[in-house]
Amino acid sequence: MFSKKTVINIVSFFALLAVLLTACGPAATAVPAATEIPAASAKIDFNTVKSASDAGGLDALIAAAKAEGELNVITLPKDWCNYGELIDTFSKKYGIKVNSLNPDGGSADEIQAIKDNIDNKGPQAPDVLDIGPAFGPLAKGENLLAPYKVTSWDSIKGTNDPDGYYFVDYSGVMVLEVNTDIVKEVPTTYKDLLDPKYKGQVALAGDPRASNQAAQSVYAAALANSGSLDNIQPGLDFFKQLNSAGNLLPLIANSGPIGKGETPITFQWSWNAYANKDTFKGNPNIEVVFPKDVNWGGYYYQAISAYAPHPAAARLWEEFLYSDEGQLGWIKGYCAPARLADMTARNVVPAELAAKLPDAALLTASIVPSGDQLSAARKLIKEQWDTVVGLDIK
C-alpha cells in the first residue's frame, strides 16, 4: 500500500535511479508577468525559437503567446498527473484558451496527429506532446519535434535529448488498481491474475499497440514471467494466457469503466491509481497493489511539435510546467517531477505534497528500461499483439 515517506527519502530515489538521473542543476527562474510584444519579437518565427532568450526573454515569450491566444494539448486526461488543474491554472494565468484533443488517446495517437495535420494550423493540430519514452526518439527521427530548452533546463533530471527535442517530465511505478467491492481476494502478483477466479476481471489501461502505459504493462509482465529487458516475448505469452483463460477484458480501463465496476483489476501507473482512489472516494473502494513479482518503473517525455500552430504558447506551456508552480502541480497528481531534487534542495516542496509520492525505496529499486529497449519492445508488441494475443483492446 501507499507509504508516506519523507522528502529526504524521495530525493534518495532520484539520486539512485540511474536511468532517470543526471547531475542536479541551478534553481529555476520564475515566469514573470506579461508585457506588450517588443517590436523585435513580433518578427520572430517562434517555431525556430530554442530558448526564451531567443525570443527576447520570458516577457517577450509571454506577450507573443498571449497574442496567439490559444494552445492545443493532446491526450491529457484531467485526472492524469493533475493536468485538469494545470490546464486551468495556465489558462487563467495567461488568458490563453487551451484546447484539449483526444484526452483518452495514447502516445501513438499524439504522433499521428502531428503527421495528419502538418499542413493544418487548425484546432486538431497539437502544439505540445506528453509521450512515452519510446516515442521521443521516434518522433525526433521523423522530424516531428522542435528543440526547446526551458529556463530551468539544467535542473531537469533524466535521459533528456541533449538538444531539447524531448525531456523527462515525471515518473512513477506500475501497479494493479483493484476494485475491492468486486474482487474479494486481492491479487499480489502478475501470475495470480491467471487464476480462474479472475475470469472477466483483468484489463489494460489502453491499447498496447498505441498506448505507452499498456505497452509497458506487457513489458513488465515479461519480467514477471522469466523474461528480461531484452526479451519481452514472455509478456506477450502471458497476455495470451490471460486472454485464453477468459480473464482479459477487451475494454480500455479508464476512470469510467473502473468506476462502474466493468474493469475490476487494471494494470495502471501509480499516479493514475491513486488519482482514481481519490476521485471515487470509496465508491468503489480501490486498493493499490505493488506486484511482488515485478517492480516496474516508468517516465514520460514532454516535447513540442515542429508544426505547432501556436509555437509561442507551446513554449510558454513548457516554461509553466517546468516552473516550481507547474512541478508542484504534478506532485499534487501523485507524479514525481523531473525537477524534484532541485526543488527539495531549496525547500519548496510542502510536506503534504511530498507525502503524495510513492515509497522512495520502492522507486529506487524499480526496473526502468532504456529508451532503446523500450523502442524495441514497442515494435515487437505492435507487430505481434494481434497474432500472439489476438484480442482487440478498445
Report the alpha-carbon distance of residue 327 to residue 341 in Å, rounded: 11
Q: What is the pLDDT of residue 121?
A: 87
With beta carbons less than 8 A apart as the criterion, state whether 375 and 137 touch.
yes
Residue 249 near residue 148, CB atoms below 8 Å: no
Calpha distance 107→14 (Å, rounded): 25
Q: What is the reported pLDDT for 20? A: 37
Give the CA angle between residues 249, 261, 77 to the nearest 5°.
Answer: 80
In whole angstroms, give the CA distance from residue 119 to residue 98.
Answer: 21
190-194, Cβ contacts within 8 angstroms, sequence gap of 24 or more: 190/220, 190/221, 190/224, 190/225, 190/238, 190/291, 190/293, 190/294, 191/224, 191/225, 191/293, 193/242, 193/247, 193/265, 194/238, 194/241, 194/242, 194/245, 194/247
> What type of residue is 240?
K
3-state secondary structure of 311: helix
7-170+299-364 has which fold? D-Maltodextrin-Binding Protein; domain 2 (3.40.190)
Give the cell for residue 253: 480501463
Q: What is the DSSP string of 58-106?
A: HHHHHHHHHHH-EEEEES--TTSTTHHHHHHHHHHHHT-EEEEE-TT--
Cβ count near 283 (within 10 Å): 9
Which pLDDT score is estimated for 371?
86
The dihedral through the CA atoms of 216, 222, 227, 232 has a sign that is negative
> In whole angstroms, what is the distance from residue 293 CA to residue 273 CA?
19
252: nearest Cα among 40, 106, 380: 106
**Cα–Cα distance between 228 and 209 in angstroms, integer?**
20
CA 321 to chain CA centroid, Å, is 13
What is the predicted pLDDT for the residue at 331? Answer: 97
Q: Are 291 and 195 in contact (CB under 8 A)?
A: no
Give yes or no on whether 7-170+299-364 and 172-297+369-389 have one common fold.
Answer: yes
Which grid cell is 310?
501556436
How much is the pTM?
0.85
Residue 149: strand pairing partners: 51
CA-wise closest residue to 216 among 255, 256, 175, 244: 175
CA distance 180 to 167: 37
Q: Which residue has the cell 507524479?
A: 335
Give the residue ranges of the chain where pLDDT is below 50. Answer: 1-35
Cα–Cα dist 321/131, whole Å:
15
Predicted confidence (pLDDT) per residue in 96-128, tens digit = 999 999 998 999 999 999 999 999 888 899 999
Domain ranges within the chain, ordered by starting residue = 7-170+299-364, 172-297+369-389
pLDDT, tens digit, for every residue of 268-282? 999 999 999 999 999
Q: Residue 361: is it exposed, middle or buried by C-beta count within 10 angstroms (0-12/13-18/19+)?
A: middle
pLDDT at 9: 40
Rounded distance between C-alpha atoms, residue 253 and residue 266, angstroms: 7
Can you tell me the distance from the alpha carbon of 75 to that of 300, in angstroms, rounded to the nearest whole number? 13
Taking the C-alpha atoms of residue 170 and residue 81, their distance in angstroms, rounded to an integer, is: 9
CB 298 within 8 A of CB 116: no
CA distances from 243 to 6, 201, 257, 386 (A): 41, 11, 19, 12
Assign a CATH topology to domain 172-297+369-389. D-Maltodextrin-Binding Protein; domain 2 (3.40.190)
**Taking Cα atoms as reference points, which of 337, 370, 367 lies closest to residue 10?**
337
